[in-house]
Amino acid sequence: MEIIEGGVCAAKGFTAAGVHCGIRKNKSKRDLSLIFSEKKAAAAAVYTTNAVKGAPIAVTKAHLEDGFAQAIICNSGNANTCNADGPEIARQTCEYVAEELHISANDVVVASTGVIGLPMDIAPIKAGIPPLAAALGHHSEQAAEGIMTTDTAVKEVAVSFEIGGKTCKIGGIAKGSGMIHPNMATMLVFITTDCAICPQLLQKALRTDIAETFNMMSIDGDTSTNDMVVVLANGMAGNPEITEENAEFAAFMKALNTVNVYLCRHIAADGEGATKLLECTVTGGKNKEIAKTVAKSVVCSSLLKAAMFGADANWGRVLCAIGYSGAAVDVNKIGVAFRSAKGEIEVCKNGAGVAFSEEKAKEILLESEIDILVDLHDGNAVSTAWGCDLTYDYVKINGDYRT
């Protein structure tokens, strides 16, 4: 497997574009994105578990009931959530895309991100779709820009891998900076691949991997209303279609996981106001569920996030988060260490503090990527979760997000 350029346009048969259509006031920011496959593709998706859901979620769910799609349209600047005419706007958006691309409206995935409860006008979207479709090309970065809200950086990646003697490619773009918590989904992610795989196994691959990637990430503890992860697989690489869980399926899963982990890390690192990426790795768990519960609890701790912002080796907050996680652990066995490019330092052993250099710990924690290493010393299960520090800027950004 190899990391390559191209994002969602790396895979054969996929094009993309992004334009400013007028939803957002800032004309320099793209606010409408389109991804198109020249062939109808197998499709899979996972959605937010929030009971309040954006109108595009229901429309997309209905369109993917047959397991296929050909285009993805997404706007930023307005979530199209809690609006009486929201479903109709989402459906109309699909119809305008279908008309422009000469495909069925039922083969269009629709998504929105932005302010919740803000009235939405279909006019700018309708006007923006023709130039958007005309701009389709190898413009993954444009599409990634068009779905950004408070993000400060484009998030895209692609990899190549071998299936059945054929070179396949898979790539993705994502948006996500705030209102992110591991309770699927946690942002918007669009993934494309030219690997041939049946819809049923594509859905299983996505749902299985989500449990180890996007569901293991938290920025601020809020689960959004519009989140979804969508994968399109058009089969244009020419490999024999994957229809059973064999070595080829395992290879596809590995490629998908590589893309998802990359996007997870970049979403977490770009958390609203964040200055540091936090990666918590738990080892020695009695079972996988315990390891996952502990890792998620640690990265979700607001107190720990604040300590990491201040480069304070307050390991007691790690143990505190483990203690209220509900996981069945033996506190007297737990070890904790912090690691970064500046080195590694043990701060807790057998559930108690150990002597360490505060100066060295601060040097380690001043880096932009921090590893929080937790050893439960109770088994062989391992799990990783991602998060970021909690800063003054997070409050500033969200204090006037709507106004």
Q: What sign results for the dihedral spanned by CA atoms 165, 206, 138, 156?
A: negative
Query: How many residues would you count in the chain?
Result: 403
Contact status, residue 253 vs residue 58, Cβ threshold 8 Å: no
Catalytic one among 15, 48, 93, 186? 186
How far is 381 from 52, CA to CA, in rounded Å?
A: 35
Q: What angle do CA 195, 197, 202 make, to 5 degrees?
A: 110
Concatenating the DSSP letter of every residue in 128-165 gives: HHHHHHHT-BB-HHHHHHHT-SS-SS-EEEEEEEEETT
Cα separation, 14 vs 8, in Å, equals: 7
Bridge partners (DSSP) listed for residue 69:
41
The partner residues of 384 in beta bridges, in order of sequence, read 281
d(CA 330, CA 325): 13
Asked if omega into 233 is within 30° of 0 (cis), the reply is no
Concerning whether 186 is annotated as a catalytic residue, the answer is: yes
Cα(98)–Cα(65) distance, integer angstroms: 18
Instruction: Indicate if the alpha-carbon torsion angle 150, 153, 154, 158 is positive or negative.
Output: negative
Taking CA atoms, 237 is separated from 22, 37, 108, 164, in Å, by 37, 13, 22, 10
- Return the active site residues: 186
